[in-house]
């Protein structure tokens, strides 16, 4: 199978290559794709070297699937060109997520919506993926009425420039800034740009994408997204109100039995999810599971995942695996 990785030299692109190798995805020919300034550079994959090509060359090479992680503008311009050439695109940007004609997929939840006709498939936002991974089985059992979520997001969600900013500040070096403020020893209550309603794009992604993935527009969602000086992954404090009551023991059992979710919730041993331990892992970790005593049918959860893996690269490749397994490519 010919596989193109668009944005192969970026932070998510590099993780995509790692995950493809780790999961033994059936790559017979790798086509690393990047901007013109990277064309001709060599990428190593499973002991072989591959030259980076530009987007037009990649289209002409006719890969079976193209994994996009090169930003929204690139996806809007080039995903349709790949699709027109018969290439299935799985896009990691926000470009196609809310397009009514495109599927927004977390494989464990709704991969069954995919068909051979889907040539551009949207990968959800990292913070949305980890939240719905935990909430989807609970929604099925108790029916979600409202979600209040506060996120504490890794700088890796911004990219290499942000990681460099933190490293520079930690070492007392002046350098290029990814954020308008220092991130070292700080928390910035802004992820992405503000919309007219006063919420950031990141916050509104949690609202809109959750409703689309769970296929339920009646779910009320309100979000606050915060950038913190952490590298390992995103953390979320989630307060969820259900239409039906629950037993905490049953909630734990449901989550424990959910593929891709790991329950870490033992107060005696101070066991709970943290990004330092989630880094490099594909699972979504859930802990601090407890009833909200201030109102009926309401639960608090703490959800952590590596935003570059399950939040981006791994979910993208799991979609591709589903397409292969079900002969949809």
Instruction: Tell me phi and psi for residue 73, to 5 degrees.
Output: -65, -45
Is the distance from CB of 221 to CB of 236 less than 8 angstroms?
Answer: no
Tell me the two tokens of residue 51: 């030259």
Q: In terms of Cα–Cα distance, which of 205, 109, 102, 191 is closest to 152?
A: 191
Indicate the Cα dihedral angle 272, 278, 282, 283, nearest 10°. 0
Which one is catalytic: 139, 184, 234, 256?
Answer: 234
CA–CA distance from 143 to each of 53, 166, 191, 239, 246 (Å)?
47, 41, 29, 14, 11
* Residue for token pair 């990814």: 178
> Which DSSP helix (H) or strand (E) runs through 139?
helix 126-142
Is 234 catalytic? The answer is yes
Pair of tokens at residue 168: 């520079």
With b meaning 16 or more CB within 10 Å and e meaning fewer, what string describes 119-144? Answer: bbbbbbbbbbbbbbbbbbbbbeebeb
Beta strands 88-91 and 120-122, pairing class: parallel
Instruction: Mark whether 256 is an active-site residue.
Output: no
E-strand stretches of the chain: 2-6, 29-33, 42-45, 48-51, 65-68, 88-91, 103-104, 120-122, 144-153, 220-227, 234-242, 261-263, 284-291, 298-305
**Contact between residue 64 and residue 3 where contact means Cβ atoms under 8 Å apart:** yes
Residues 6+ apart with CB under 8 A from 78: 6, 55, 59, 68
**Looking at the annotation, which residues are catalytic?**
126, 234
């Amino acid at each position: 199978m010919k596989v193109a990785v668009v944005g192969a030299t970026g932070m998510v692109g590099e993780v995509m290559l790692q995950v493809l190798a780790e999961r033994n995805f059936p790559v017979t020919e790798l086509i690393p794709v990047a901007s013109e300034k990277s064309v001709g550079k060599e990428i190593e994959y499973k002991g072989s070297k591959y030259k980076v090509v530009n987007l037009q060359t990649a289209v002409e090479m006719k890969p079976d699937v193209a994994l996009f992680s090169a930003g929204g503008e690139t996806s809007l311009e080039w995903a349709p060109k790949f699709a027109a050439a018969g290439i299935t695109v799985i896009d990691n940007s926000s470009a196609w997520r809310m397009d009514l004609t495109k599927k927004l997929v977390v494989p464990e939840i709704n991969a069954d919506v995919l068909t051979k006709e889907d040539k551009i498939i949207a990968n959800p936002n990292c913070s949305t993926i980890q939240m719905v991974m935990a909430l989807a089985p609970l929604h099925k059992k108790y029916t979600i009425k409202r979600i209040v979520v506060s996120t504490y997001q890794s700088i890796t969600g911004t990219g290499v420039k942000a990681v460099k900013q933190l490293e520079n500040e930690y070492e007392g070096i002046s350098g290029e800034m990814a954020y308008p403020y220092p991130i070292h020893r700080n928390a910035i209550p802004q992820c992405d740009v503000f919309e007219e309603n006063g919420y950031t794009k990141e916050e509104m992604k949690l609202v809109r994408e959750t409703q689309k993935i769970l296929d339920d527009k009646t779910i009320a969602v309100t979000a606050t997204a915060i950038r913190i000086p952490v590298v390992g992954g995103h953390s979320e404090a989630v307060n969820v109100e259900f239409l039906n009551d629950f037993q905490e023991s049953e909630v734990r059992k449901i989550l424990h039995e959910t593929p891709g979710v790991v329950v870490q919730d033992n107060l005696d041993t101070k066991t709970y999810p943290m990004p330092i331990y989630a880094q490099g892992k594909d699972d979504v970790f859930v802990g601090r599971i407890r009833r909200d005593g201030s109102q009926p049918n309401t639960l608090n959860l703490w959800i952590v995942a590596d935003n570059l893996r399950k939040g981006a690269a791994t979910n993208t490749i799991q979609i591709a695996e589903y397409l292969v397994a079900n002969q949809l490519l």
